[in-house]
Structure 1
């Protein structure tokens, strides 16, 4: 486990998946990240690349230039969460990891890519940066996103219903899980009025995640009804926000900002037709950022 820290935070990261495993605030001693040691969700904050969610056919059809295509298998949430990353740099308050093509990824993804996952501590904030680069000569398609499970256990209170997400009160689009096939989204978009206090309950997630789009404000807070402690969560270049928890007794809520979206029941497997697909030209790089402030 890689440890970085500054005057306010101690952070642990696993080289496997370049996964954030712990954020402890030195002033209050609170652990803000779900350890993944209990319940059905055995991870803490997997990095999702090169695709988000379930793949409707289990395969993806990629263009490889003029009149050439290839179909390859792809697993849920991609492969980045399931492989070791190369360590590029470790300092007292910074950790940087890289994933490049290897025999495992080449059986699943045809592009010459690099994915850098970087964690930088600045006072009480963790900057969680993704740098995706196309090192090849053909256009490259991808999704990327986070899946951070925040521990709902402030002051020893594990009552999930005492926690809430603070949004800017607004109207947004809400994608629901397809009632006939709960592995994928329904293409029907609902207009949803987000309250300022979105109270948490397991019942809200009986059909899996809630997927919000069109948020005017890219900062939300996770709070407790009777505590001054919480998490301020900001996401940039990640336009869709999914909220999820398991329906067992685990005490966490996942805040998942995505540049991309899971498949719809009606999806075909052509990569360029996927909703919110990201595209990079040869030698082009794009940065996506999450910022976690704990208090």
Structure 2
């Protein structure tokens, strides 16, 4: 089911399927800032990644020596959430463990996603509650896809990314199958800007784990419309657009990432995995803001 929220500046829609944000519209001119989910390119809009970000090696992982199989990016984005609460400016969906989920992910949990409108922004909050009688382990992350370019009469080369601090950063390299290598590539050298083109993503996603910035903005050389993502506290940041030239770009704050190509350990030992004790809660949030 699709629900909507709006204030004087923006309107959003979100679905119980995946708890996924489907639309973010600026009301000044009716501009859509979120990708439309055209399956010709990519059928999602803004999936929630849980309990894995990216892929477990061969889509399999071990818990206490037992092998489980899990889809790329986990089970949340393909599961139906329940509506937990709704107010004039916020909505919360919940995904709770089930007999079926325990066959894929052997932990008892409650996962909440809350969208809260604040002027020209939407705050996205994730909360994981441990309902098990033991520690649980997970990765969690966002994968929102934004229209890029924002205006239809532009091309990707008209756009650029602006970080809120100058960076000296390197990217974590991946294989063609999107597993990580134990290698890095220098990328940003005293710079706060990435000029965009198809060439930027020819080797796949850009993944940073050493950013000083906590905000990235999609900007245009031709106008003042922009979209910003604030991501305080997330240890990893993925930036991706398909090589096909589809008109969207993803800014993805993560806790955790895909497996290294040679990983052979337990699920709890995957780099970036969150550990949560019985009855405890984990939460994180990011904020999407538009300027028109």
Say which is worse superposed, 232-241 or 273-282, in terms of deviation: 232-241
Note if 1:169 corresponds to 2:166: yes
In 2, the alpha carbon distance for the partners of 1:88 and 1:140 equals: 23
Which whole-Å deviations, capped at 9, do the CAs of 1:65-115 have from their partners, x for residues lacking one? Answer: xxxx43211110001000110100122221100000123311100111111
1:159-238 to structure 2, matched below 5 A, reads: 159-167=155-163, 168-178=165-175, 181-193=176-188, 195-238=191-234
Given the superposition, is the C-alpha separation of residues 267 and 215 from structure 1 closer, same or farther in structure 2, using an over 3 Å criterion?
Answer: same
Is 1:272 the counterpart of 2:268? The answer is: yes
Comparing 117-126 with 147-156, which one deviates more in the overlay?
A: 147-156
Q: Which residue of 2 aligns with 1:151?
A: 147
**Separation (CA, whole Å) in 2 of partners of 1:237 and 1:131:** 14
| Equivalent residues of 2:17, 2:80 under 8 A apart | yes
Alignment RMSD: 1.4
**Distance in 2 (alpha carbons) for counterparts of 1:22 and 1:152:** 14
Counterpart CA distance in 1 for 2:269 and 2:234 is 19
Task: Say which SS state the counterpart of residue 127 (structure 1) adopts.
Answer: strand
* Alignment deviations for residues 132-170 of structure 1 (CA, whole Å, 9 cap, x no partner): 111111111000000000012433234111111101221
Q: CA deviation at 1:269?
A: 4.3
Runs of 4+ residues deviating >3 angstroms: none
SS of 1:272's equivalent in the other structure is: helix
Distance 2:279 2:261 in 1: 33
TM-score, normalisation: structure 2: 0.94
Q: Shift of the alpha carbon at 1:39?
A: 2.9
Tell me which residue corresponds to 2:74: 78
| Structure 2 runs not aligned, ≥5 long | none
**Quick check: 1:27 aligned with 2:28?**
yes
State the alpha-carbon separation in 1 of the partners of residues 271 and 60 from structure 2: 16
CA distance in 1, matches of 2:120, 2:281: 28
* TM-score using structure 1 length: 0.93
When residues 196 and 52 of structure 1 are mapped into structure 2, their CA distance, relative to the original with a 3 A threshold, is: same
